[in-house]
Structure 1
Amino acid sequence: MPFRTVLLCCVLWLAGALGQSAAAQQVVAGPMPGHSAMRAVQVWLQTDRSAEARLAFRPVGSDDEYRVTEPVRTDAGTAFTAEIDVTGLEPGTEYEYRVLLDGTAQESELALRFQTQPLWQWRESPPDFSFALGSCSYVNQPEYDRPGRPYGGDYQIYDAIAEAEPDFMLWMGDNFYYREVDWDSRWGMYQRVSHSRQLPEMQRLLTGMHHFGTWDDHDFGPNNSDRSYALRDTAKEVFDAFFPNPPFSGAGGGGVMSYFEWHDAGFFLLDNRYFRSANDRVTGERTVLGRAQAEWLIDALQKSNATFKFVVMGGQFINSAELFENYAHLAPGERREILDRIAAEDIPGVVFLTGDRHHSVLLKMDRRGEYPLYDWTVSPLTAGPGTPHDGEGQYRVEGSLFTERNFGRVEVTGPRDDRVATLILHDSNGVERFRYEIRANDLRAGS
């Protein structure tokens, strides 16, 4: 090869290499605010390649100089995700922020903001707030989906949730769906969650509010999976890499259970997969939560001063039909024990929020001498809708059943001595389809 040709090839290669290295890293999902405390917040994001990520932040409306967080390096091992701790904040304050990648501020068409919890205790009534909730979020990928009609759809629902402007979103399981090509490798699991989280229609929702989540079978492993799943610890690693939940577990290690408070409400996010015995097992103890987690739940509910104690899990709790993956079918003794202990401990304010069933319904269990227990199932977001089976209507509140794609919203309002939780169901376009009020004063023994 002539010398001039070799020289030209070298120059072109060098120019290409320099151009590639000079190309700016980008945020491909998020940023997404997660756990919010009074003086600290976590923010999650995902980049397209390795980068040193920081946040520059200041109170909204302030002329103060931006403060900058400590750097967090995104790398290929965790699909270039990062959870950035923002500390030294003030209670009850909304902050604006920018993402810095390798020192360069990233442009965003969306307003980037997060909020801290207010210090209202001993001072005033708790502030009003609202949150959205849903389960079963399926994002199509035809080359790996089952043949036939696409299972996912109506992605406009994510914009509809953002339009409602809740304070946070509660993801109640099946938040992404592992396929056969995913659940037998760590790399495949990270790829699946990345594909779902990078959906363009989801970005406004991710950025616009805080987010918390627990899982069910499809974001834990294969369909109907349990504690025997060989990659359950890998599943937890992947889940933790994409959900900036509070760094807490009350089950002695393992699982994704967590707890957080928003104003005067407590949220007990349970794990119904990591400790679960096989569905069809006929010997030994049958369990969904496991002994350690069930004991923690009773302790935490008893200790809590929250007005509403929202118990969140991937599958229904109140449903009495002994079918399929209903709690009453899988672990009837454990379910009965939890119900009995909530009554014996005289724990007020308990409301169950659940997912999984591909339809939405409010169940109300009246109890002799005790207040009624509610279980609001909200599902699906974008997965295929379904209907309940015969025999599942025992506790159903009239008019609450909805069998199309949907999301829920809860408004918690009123003075300290008369708080009300209003349950509102919306279809995938944001149209209201159901509304129901639960008064805190009606969730006490003797009420």
Structure 2
Amino acid sequence: MRRLLIAMALAWAAHAAAQSLAAGPMVGATDMHGTTIWLQGTAPARAELEYWPVQEPTKTRRVSAQLQAADDHVAHVRIEGLEQATRYAYRLRLNGQPAGDVQHFRTQTRWQWRGQVEPPAFTALLGSCHYLNEPARDRDGNPFGAGYGIFSTMAARQPDLTLWLGDNSYLRENEWSSAEGIRYRFQADRAQAELQPLLRVGQHAAIWDDHDYGPDDSNSSYEFKQAALDMFKRYWANASWGLPGVPGIFGSFSFSDVDFFLLDNRWYRDADKDAHTKNKRMLGDAQVRWLKNALLQSTAPLKVVVGGSQFLANVSPRSEGWSRFPEERQDFMDWLAGNRLDGVLFFSGDKHHTELTKVERAGTYPLYDLTCSPLTAGAFPGAPDTARPDRIPGTMVPIRNFCSFTVDGPKTRRVITMKSFDAQGKELWSHQLEAQALRTPR
């Protein structure tokens, strides 16, 4: 009898281990009446989400999905029929057994065309360049990654939104040369224990840059970019991916009274180092056409364009940035001024240091590009302020850090606050501006 009980206990332990969470859950694209919850298990299982309004716990509903080995036991669970401006709780079960604690999400508020309804204040956290050390696959020398406690620091701030600005993983030389290697890196990095607290807080959206797309400084010639796109779509839960017939990770989503435009700076990119070809492209004609039309379609008072490469800074010939594609950038800047489009800001990553760039424009408002980097990869100082008159003094951060973007105040007087924090949460700088300052004089 004792042996039987021991055998039953061991079998139950093995069963429980086989159906545990590998990563997540993580809340992805969320609108007024629906949300997508990403999760990953360790084995095939039936995943069931129970969810209910926090203020009405008796109104529990359920939705389920199957975790399959072919998809790395990943599921994107879509929940529909929700009430706007409502905080929900949810609980995950795998094969009927509880998997993790109760988590929460909040649907978007319908404030448009409702005079007495204010758009909610919110805080987004930003970061780029996360490197998880793996000695068996890394280059020789000192480890490139460190400071993984930064994710717990970020989670403790309870952000409403986290924007991953590219290089969220680093493909190695022995990985970017095959679809299997790309799959391995995405799966290994997502399972990192230190990452999980942040994934479980707020909503998440992501873009890529060269290192989670392919090799260093990679461009449109990368042969395995379809495999990279497949994995990116599997491991993130953005609202949309490209357009019919125009592949890529670009898309947009709304959060409160801000529209975010996520760009793909790799799929269509010509080589930065090409010094001969005229009119070379970083974003490509089809994506730029989409961006222009999407910006014009937007009714949000604030419009944030998000990309992996810096938009406004004039980078050196050894660096990457939109300034290496002068015709494409100038065409967009002329178009932006000519259409008198208000409320446009830029976010970028890549540089392994943080800085806030400000570019004055004749006859209209200045443009800002908040570059935030790195999270855990190696940090490198940028040029001094004296060599960068377009940088707001004191905003260059040459250490591992993350940034915040807060929008608050009544809808007619919104205030934007951008900050940088070190890995322990110490504020390094803060810059504030009124949304009204991002308006073209009439």
Counterparts in 2 of 1:387 and 1:94: CA distance versus 1, 3 Å? same
1:26 equivalent to 2:20? Answer yes
Partner residue in 2 for 1:408: 403
Residue segments in structure 1 that go unaligned for 5+ positions in a row: 1-11
Partner residue in 2 for 1:39: 33
Does the CA-based 8 Å contact 2:282-2:322 persist in structure 1?
no
Counterparts in 2 of 1:328 and 1:271: CA distance versus 1, 3 Å? closer
Partner residue in 2 for 1:432: 427
1:153 equivalent to 2:146? Answer yes
1:418 equivalent to 2:409? Answer no
Partner residue in 1 for 2:262: 269
SS in 2 for 1:371: coil
| Deviation string, structure 1 residues 102-153 (Cα, Å, up to 9, x no partner) | 2323243xx4111110112222221111110010011111111111211111
Q: Structure 1: which amino acid aligns with 2:400?
A: R
Query: Where does 1:308-323 land on structure 2 (aligned, <5 Å)?
Result: 308-323=302-317
Name the stretch that deviates more: 321-330 or 168-177.
321-330
Does the CA-based 8 Å contact 1:251-1:293 persist in structure 2?
no
Query: Where does 1:320-399 land on structure 2 (aligned, <5 Å)?
Result: 320-389=314-383, 393-399=388-394
Counterparts in 2 of 1:116 and 1:392: CA distance versus 1, 3 Å? farther
Does the CA-based 8 Å contact 1:233-1:254 persist in structure 2?
no
CA distance in 1 between partners of 2:428 and 2:244 (Å): 37
Counterparts in 2 of 1:328 and 1:203: CA distance versus 1, 3 Å? closer
CA distance in 2 between partners of 1:19 and 1:437 (Å): 53
1:223 equivalent to 2:212? Answer no
Counterparts in 2 of 1:13 and 1:40: CA distance versus 1, 3 Å? same
Q: Structure 2: which amino acid aligns with 1:113?
A: H
CA distance in 1 between partners of 2:410 and 2:367 (Å): 23
SS in 1 for 2:132: coil
Q: Percent identity?
A: 38
CA distance in 1 between partners of 2:60 and 2:422 (Å): 40
SS in 1 for 2:377: coil
CA distance in 1 between partners of 2:31 and 2:144 (Å): 37
1:278 equivalent to 2:278? Answer no
| Deviation string, structure 1 residues 74-110 (Cα, Å, up to 9, x no partner) | 22222211110011111011111111212323243xx
1:299 equivalent to 2:293? Answer yes
User: 1:250: how far off?
Assistant: 4.3
What count of residue pairs does the alignment treat as equivalent?
Answer: 433
Does the CA-based 8 Å contact 1:78-1:190 persist in structure 2?
no
1:443 equivalent to 2:438? Answer yes
Q: Structure 2: which amino acid aligns with 1:386?
A: F
Q: Structure 2: which amino acid aligns with 1:385?
A: A
Q: Structure 1: which amino acid aligns with 2:304?
A: F
SS in 1 for 2:360: strand
| Deviation string, structure 1 residues 311-337 (Cα, Å, up to 9, x no partner) | 000010101234234335431100111
RMSD of equivalent CA atoms: 2.1
1:121 equivalent to 2:116? Answer no
| Deviation string, structure 1 residues 175-206 (Cα, Å, up to 9, x no partner) | 01011121122222121112111111111100
CA distance in 1 between partners of 2:267 and 2:390 (Å): 28
User: 1:62: how far off?
Assistant: 2.2
Name the stretch that deviates more: 50-59 or 170-179.
50-59
Partner residue in 1 for 2:3: none
User: 1:163: how far off?
Assistant: 1.2
Counterparts in 2 of 1:229 and 1:307: CA distance versus 1, 3 Å? same
Does the CA-based 8 Å contact 1:321-1:392 persist in structure 2?
no
CA distance in 2 between partners of 1:318 and 1:230 (Å): 29
CA distance in 2 between partners of 1:379 and 1:183 (Å): 23
- The structure that has the greater radius of gyration is 1
User: 1:310: how far off?
Assistant: 0.5
Partner residue in 2 for 1:260: 253
SS in 2 for 1:182: coil
Partner residue in 2 for 1:172: 165
Does the CA-based 8 Å contact 1:327-1:335 persist in structure 2?
no
SS in 2 for 1:312: strand
CA distance in 2 between partners of 1:56 and 1:324 (Å): 51
Partner residue in 2 for 1:290: 284
SS in 2 for 1:341: helix
Residue segments in structure 2 that go unaligned for 5+ positions in a row: 1-5
Among 90, 103, 106, the residue aligned to 1:97: 90
| Deviation string, structure 1 residues 262-309 (Cα, Å, up to 9, x no partner) | 010010000000111122333364100000111111111122111211
